[in-house]
């Protein structure tokens, strides 16, 4: 169990995708928690004129939740926080996707979070 938690922690710290040559930041707290857990997801997106939407997704084998926030290009805030409440037990993939004016993905970041039973 200790090795698994260590691996998950390393994965949580390794989100490094690019948008227009810059990194999309993704920070989820907590990275390991007891169920039901409230996850706070903070996405940092470099200002870019093509940024039109930010999608934040938390999913496991038996849970899915997402939030889509409209962006106004380079006038949009560079940091956005979303909270997922009462998340049940599971190993979660948390993703942040930035969509451009064409509606296609132009960048993303991903990490994993482990919600364990008591």
Q: Is the pTM for the entire model greater than 0.85?
A: no
Domain architecture of the chain: domains with CATH: 2-116 (2.60.40.730)
Q: Given this model, what pLDDT does residue 1 score?
A: 52
Cα–Cα distance for residue pair 113/47, rounded to 1 Å: 27
| Residue whose tokens read 């998340």 | 87
* The Cα angle at residue 96 between residues 31 and 86, in degrees rounded to 5: 45
pLDDT tens-digit readout, 55-107: 999 999 999 999 999 999 999 999 999 999 999 999 999 999 999 999 999 99
- Name the band, by pLDDT with cuts 50, 70 and 90, for residue 2: low
Cα–Cα separations (whole angstroms), residue 32 to 9, 54, 102, 107 = 8, 24, 36, 26
Q: Given this model, what pLDDT does residue 13 score?
A: 42
3-state helix/strand/coil string of 14-70: CCCCEECCEECEEEEECCEEECCEEEEEEEECCCCCCCCEEEEEEEECCEEEEEEEE
Query: Strands across the sheet with 105-116, in order?
Result: 32-34, 105-116, 90-99, 53-60, 63-70
- Name the band, by pLDDT with cuts 50, 70 and 90, for residue 12: very low
Q: Is 10 a residue whose pLDDT tops 80?
A: no
- Name the band, by pLDDT with cuts 50, 70 and 90, for residue 6: very low
pLDDT tens-digit readout, 13-63: 444 344 345 789 999 999 999 999 999 999 999 999 999 999 999 999 999
Q: What are phi and psi of 76, to 5 degrees?
A: -75, 150
Cα–Cα distance for residue pair 25/117, rounded to 1 Å: 29
């Amino acid at each position: 169990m200790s090795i698994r938690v260590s691996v998950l922690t390393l994965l949580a710290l390794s989100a490094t995708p690019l948008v227009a040559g810059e990194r999309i930041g993704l920070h989820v707290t907590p990275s390991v928690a007891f169920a039901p857990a409230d996850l706070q997801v903070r996405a940092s997106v470099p200002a870019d004129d093509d940024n039109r939407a930010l999608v934040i997704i938390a999913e496991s084998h038996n849970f899915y939740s997402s939030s889509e926030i409209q962006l106004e290009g380079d006038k949009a805030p560079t940091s956005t926080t979303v909270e997922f409440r009462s998340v049940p037990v599971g190993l979660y993939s948390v993703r942040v996707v930035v969509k451009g004016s064409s509606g296609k993905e132009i960048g993303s970041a991903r990490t994993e979070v482990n919600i364990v039973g008591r």
